[in-house]
Chains A and B, each alone.
Chain A
Amino acid sequence: MKLSVPLRRRIPSIYIVLLLFYLAGWVLVSLFGRGTWLSGTNLSNMAVRSVALGIVAIGQTFTILVGSLDLSVAYLISVVAVMASYLMQGDPDKVPQAILIVFGIGVGVGLANGLIITKLRLNAFIATVGTGLLMQGVLNASFENFAGAVPASFQDFAYGKLGPFPAPVLLLLLIAALAAFVLERTRFGAHLYAVGGNRSTARLSGVRTDRVIIAAHVIASLMATISGLFIVSRLRAGAPWVGPDGAYDIESVAAVVVGGTALSGGRGGVGGTLAGVFIFSVLDTMFNQLGIDPYLKQVFRGLIIIAAVASYSVRSRETAA
């Protein structure tokens, strides 16, 4: 059923909003700001700025679509960043082993979240706040500051270029395309929408709902792992505060819902999420170049989240709580 949606509807109106933000930035920055807005460097800076949040938010899209939520991603990012630089210790030979271990941790955390939510029947909010605190505690008790470092070669991941395009941006787009393919063209994707839309109906039609929810959580944790690796490659070393400082938990949820995915599950997609992330970075860049107080940006960001979701919800007939 997802295959026959006309193209017009597959490009969410959120992209028009993104374009409007971009144009508003152009006008405002040319009138009052400094720096050039329409340059390639500026555009690629904006795109690079979106990568860390973008990858987490793509993972978060899966959990929200299935009717769940993952608020532990910020701490998983910290765990991955710290463990990666601690395990690598600047030695290029240790990179593959370190990557393998952090992906192992990612899968483990995703499985734990999924199992707690499905088998212990915990509310996803409570469950992932709990696992997040658990990771935060263990991490803060073991590491106080930047631990180890990644080798210079690993920093190519964040700073490398393929032709004129920054490598991490291409990675983000590749992941987004892959995620969109999984959601729209595979049986698993259809199951994800079905479980998010109505869990008991999905179960009665033969979908193994628990497995779908667990898989969504594993995907979200894997994405957080990739994002953590990207962040540590940019910073050269990981510290326990890199995840919570970026507020990747609430920011990723915010990007997903601004992009039009319903928090109740079953409706939305990766394309919207990506637009949500880009809107945030256009806004960031615009405020920077206008030299406006960064805190005012935060006020705007909060109100935009509410306004964006309101623009979707007033059109639907559902009530909220």
Chain B
Amino acid sequence: MALSTRTTPFTRVLRKPLKMVAAIPAIYFILAALLIWISFENPNFPQPEVFLAFLRRATPLLILAAGQLFVIVTGGFDLSVGSLITLTVLGGALLTDGNADRTPLAIVTLYLIGLGVGIFNGLVVSYLRVSSFITTLGMLIALKGAALLWSGGAPAGYLPDNFRIFGRQNLEGVPYLGKVPYAVIILVVYSLVATYLLHGTNFGKKALAVGDNPRAAALSGIAIPRIRIAVFVLSSISAVTAGILLGGFAGVSMNVGDGYELEAIAAVVLGGAMLMGGKGSMPTAIAGALSLRALFTLLNLLGLPSPYRAAVQGLIIIGAAAYAAFRSQSES
């Protein structure tokens, strides 16, 4: 507004680039500022090796946020992903029990479980008309119970090296970068595919339409149940993928997935998605997740005691959502 009221030649020349800058989502500036600040605190950070290691640690959350965004743009939630991660890690250890030969079958089995959970969530929301909040809350409780039941209440078995390769090994001899973690390669492929799915396909447009106005979407001939089932499946598949990666570098533990559902939702909100659906962008959601991780890295470097992390995360979530609410209010 301030730009258009004064029209000196100077501002006229600047107006267009300034408008373009203003159109860039705020999360990119936040992310850039965080990364620059981290580089000041830790001068090694911009080195490929260090930065890629940071990306690798962030990958599970980024993948989870990408999956969560599909559900959120349709106006739903997926709270079951944290427990599904735990189930994946504990289940992976039990299915393989350290035997490398069993890894392929175990991974297929885990993805089938994910597929089943996603389909179940989608069917319950679509046909039993239970809100996704309740459906996935029930699944959060049930899946955590199932994971603990399966493992007998304590981590059992262990993951063979070829299962952990995705989370901890690197692709060697890459030009310029040296070694690149497999997790980062998975992340890049995942991000590209997810961005294309949401923004480049009919399916993505339909998902956004369902979240924007389900009735209008139904009247325009969109098969809503099919879309809902598909987004829950995408979210569950993302959770299994995140679980396989976490099992790789974090190992087997009972609460490996706890709290991931809230972090993923927070990341998506940071990335500017609307919780009631209809609006969301994959690149900014991924940038939101990366910002959340960058923030924690920075707080670590600044020596903030780890218990305060939760408090800072809380403030950031409220701040980001308040900013988004303020913006959408001033737009309308």
Contacts and interface: CB of A to CB of B under 8 A. Distances in A.
Interface of A: 116, 120-123, 125-127, 129-138, 140-141, 250, 253-254, 257, 263-264, 293, 295-306, 309-310, 313-314, 316, 318-321
Nearest to B139: A302
Interface in B70-126: 74-77, 124-125
A297 B134 CA distance: 18
A306 B138 contact: yes
Main DSSP-derived SS at the B contact region:
helix
Q: Which 5 A-B pairs have the closest CB atoms?
A: A137-B311, A302-B142, A298-B145, A133-B314, A140-B307
Given A141-B307, A295-B148, A303 B318 contact: no
B329 interface: yes
Interface of B: 74-77, 124-125, 128-135, 137-146, 148-149, 153, 211, 214, 224, 262, 265-266, 269, 275-277, 305, 307-315, 317-318, 321-322, 325-326, 329
Contact of B314 (A120, A125, A132): A132
B315 A130 contact: yes
Most B-side CB within 10 Å, residue of A257, A301, A320: A320
Given A122-B318, A129-B266, A302-B141, A137 B130 contact: no
Contacts of A141: 305, 307-308, 311
Contacts of B137: 250, 253-254, 305
A305 B325 contact: no
21 contacts: A116-B318, A122-B325, A125-B265, A125-B275, A126-B275, A126-B321, A134-B318, A137-B310, A137-B311, A250-B137, A263-B134, A296-B145, A300-B145, A301-B141, A306-B139, A309-B130, A309-B134, A319-B224, A320-B130, A321-B75, A321-B132
Main DSSP-derived SS at the A contact region:
helix
B128 to A, nearest CB: 4
A321 B74 contact: yes
Contact of A299 (B142, B308, B325): B142
Given A295-B153, A299-B146, A137 B325 contact: no
A24 B42 CA distance: 62
B311 A133 contact: yes
A140 B310 CA distance: 9
Contacts of B131: 263-264, 309, 313, 320-321
A296 B149 contact: yes
A116 to B, nearest CB: 6
Contacts of B311: 133-134, 136-138, 141
Contacts of A296: 145, 149
B321 A130 contact: yes
Given A122-B321, A126-B321, A130-B314, 7 more contacts: A126-B275, A137-B310, A138-B311, A309-B135, A313-B129, A321-B125, A321-B211
A235 to B, nearest CB: 21
Contacts, number: 169
Nearest to B320: A126
Contact of B138 (A132, A133, A138, A305): A305
B312 A137 contact: yes
Contacts of A126: 265-266, 269, 275, 317-318, 321
A293 B150 CA distance: 11
A321 B142 contact: no
B321 A137 contact: no
A309 B139 CA distance: 13
A246 B168 CA distance: 35
Given A121-B329, A299-B142, A131 B307 contact: no
Nearest to B144: A298
A303 B130 CA distance: 12
Contacts of B322: 116, 120-122
B56 to A, nearest CB: 25
Contacts of A304: 138
A126 B276 CA distance: 12
Nearest to A304: B138
A132 B314 CA distance: 7
Contact of B141 (A136, A298, A316): A298
A277 B315 CA distance: 32
Given A120-B322, A141-B307, A263-B133, A299 B75 contact: no
Contacts of B211: 321
A130 B318 contact: yes
A129 B130 CA distance: 22
B128 A250 contact: no
Contacts of A134: 310-311, 314-315, 318
Contacts of A320: 125, 129-132
B134 A305 contact: yes
Contacts of A131: 314, 318
B313 A133 contact: yes
B318 A127 contact: yes
Contact of B321 (A123, A257, A301, A316): A123
Contact of B142 (A138, A293, A298): A298
Contacts of B76: 321
A303 B142 CA distance: 6
